[in-house]
Structure 1
Amino acid sequence: MPRILLIDDDEQLGPPLAAYFQRFELALTQALRPSEGLALLAQGGFDAAILDVMLPEMDGFELCRTLRKTSDIPVLMLTARGDVMDRVVGLELGADDYLPKPFEPRELVARVQTVLRRRRTAAPAELDPDEWRFEGGLSIAPTRRRVLREGTEVELTGTEFELLLLLAREPGRVFNRDDILNQLRGHEAELYTRAVDIVVSRLRKKLEPLDAIKTLRNAGYALALRRLP
């Protein structure tokens, strides 16, 4: 059963939410403080984390930044209702998804199930050899979800990896924002354009000094590296 860590200082939130998650075969554990949550995550065994923005000790943004230094675990942020900037900042820091408060428990479960599905879904068999190699020293192992740049492993979040995998399946093909969003996010129209640009920017920076992703104005994005035999 997948284990989810909720880091939220609302003591009344965790128990009923854990009972609800149990109905979907998800085990939810709550930590009330970031330090407690980081200690639990360091022990391993969790499959995703849900971070509230408003926390004692450090806010959810700083917590996400700290977590991303050592882990690529899927992260979902709980943001202020209607605060688009909170969602943008969360994405920039490496969150995989976001949900504004107050939220419906069923939608939170659906979001968690989506990030878990991205993590464990391998590429189709016909596109999933042990390793894809590209010029410039980039290699991608779809099943193992591993990316190497000139022999050095590149740590990517689940969303970043899925974006790279999408582009790498057809190098040179231009994917517009709708193509990418249909694959990665699904909805939240107000952030469509900004969300894609943020994830592309993060991925591009992590792949430097490779000039791996090409931007075509008013068209979309493409992997600019040729696949090697």
Structure 2
Amino acid sequence: MGKPEDRLVKAPASHDRRPRLMVLEDDPVTRSMIARYFTNDGFDVQEAASAAECRAILRRSAVDLIFADIHLPDANGITLAQEIRAESPVGIIFVTQQDNEVDRVVGLETAGDDYVTKPVNLRELMARSRALLRRRRLDSAPGNRRAIMTFGSYILDLTRRELSVSSGGQIPLTRGEFDLLAALVEAGGRPLYRDFLAEVVSSRPGESDTRTVDTLVSRLRRKLNHQDDGSAMIVTVTGIGYRFGIVVDSA
């Protein structure tokens, strides 16, 4: 193995700051549109119009996620992604033409975590991105460290996937209920779009339904009592989705 400075990709970035994103897209209009949308949502975004620019960025800075256009002017996006994947667990979402099923299948089987089709739906791309980042954050947590969140009298153990009360006893949750609650709790009061939550609770990527989110919220509200001060744990945000309504502490 070469010297550290010879590596294509720097070590994965820390999760204790804004998610770092690279938009690898040769079309300037599409690239600028995606970059602006994600910057406005709190991402640290860098832009690349070619494989050469992508490699240069990765040598000098770490990223958490790459949106990779498959058809680049100086390389095949899938081949480039395989090159990156060999050195880093960075998340990769391919951007493909809607009618090119071969690109989608090959990309997902070799190096990609997910894909979206052009013209890009920005809300869908945001939902898929946050879902992917969340999965990777949980997957990369040290095995000897439990991720525990507390709120009110409740204890949410993200590692063991358990919800309990401080006085003792567990509250049984389905997979979807747990995933939805975990996403809201981790957001720390920030509103989450229903589209994003639908991706979080979907068991199969790309087959999500926002009505499922509403059903799960109703079930969670029945299982989780309101706090003594009357504030709802899961608050409806009109036109957006839901947010967590009380203070959360992490252990």
TM-score, length of structure 1 as denominator length: 0.54
Q: Distance in 2 between matches of 1:74 and 1:29?
A: 15
Alignment correspondent of 1:49: 66
Shift, 1:17, TM fit: 2.1
| CA-CA distance at 1:16 after TM superposition | 2.8
Superposed displacement of residue 129, structure 1: 5.5
- Cα 1:22–1:84 change in 2 (3 A) is same
CA positional deviation for 1:80: 1.3
1:83–1:2 Cα change, 3 Å: same
Once residues 121 and 24 of structure 1 are traced to their aligned partners in structure 2, the CA distance between those partners, rounded to angstroms, is 21
**Percent identity of equivalent pairs:** 32
Do the aligned partners of 1:77 and 1:98 also contact (CA within 8 Å) in 2? Answer: yes
Conserved? CA contact 1:7–1:49, under 8 Å: yes
In the other structure, the counterpart of 1:94 is 111
| Selected match of 1:130 from 120, 138, 144 | 144
Matches within 5 A, 1:68-217: 68-121=85-138, 130=144, 182-183=202-203, 185-187=205-207
CA-CA distance at 1:23 after TM superposition:
2.7
SS of match in other structure, 2:29: coil
2:29 maps to 1:12: yes
> Displacement, 1:19?
1.9
Structure 1 residue 42, shift from structure 2 partner: 2.3
TM-score, normalised via structure 2 length: 0.49
Name which of 61, 64, 68 aligns with 2:81: 64
Residue 3, structure 1, aligned to residue 20, structure 2: yes
Question: 1:64 Cα shift?
Answer: 1.0
Distance 1:129 1:41 in 2: 28
RMSD: 2.8
Supply the distance in 2 between the matched residues of 1:74 and 1:123 (Cα, whole angstroms): 12
Aligned AA (1:102): P
Distance 1:123 1:19, change over 3 A: closer
Instruction: Supply the distance in 2 between the matched residues of 1:105 and 1:28 (Cα, whole angstroms).
Output: 15
User: In the TM superposition, what is the alpha-carbon distance from 1:99 to its structure 2 partner?
Assistant: 0.6
- Aligned to 1:46, what secondary structure does the other structure show? coil
Kept in 2: contact 1:74–1:116 (CA 8 A): yes
Give the superposition deviation at 1:40.
0.8
- The 3-state SS of whatever aligns with 1:82 is coil
- Give the count of matched residue pairs: 138
Displaced runs of 4 or more, over 4 A = 181-184
> Which residue of structure 1 lines up, in the alignment, with residue 242 of structure 2?
none
Unmatched tracts of structure 1, length 5 or more: 132-141, 144-180, 189-229
CA distance in 1, matches of 2:140, 2:110: 26
Q: Any unmatched runs of 5+ in structure 2?
A: 1-17, 146-157, 160-200, 209-251
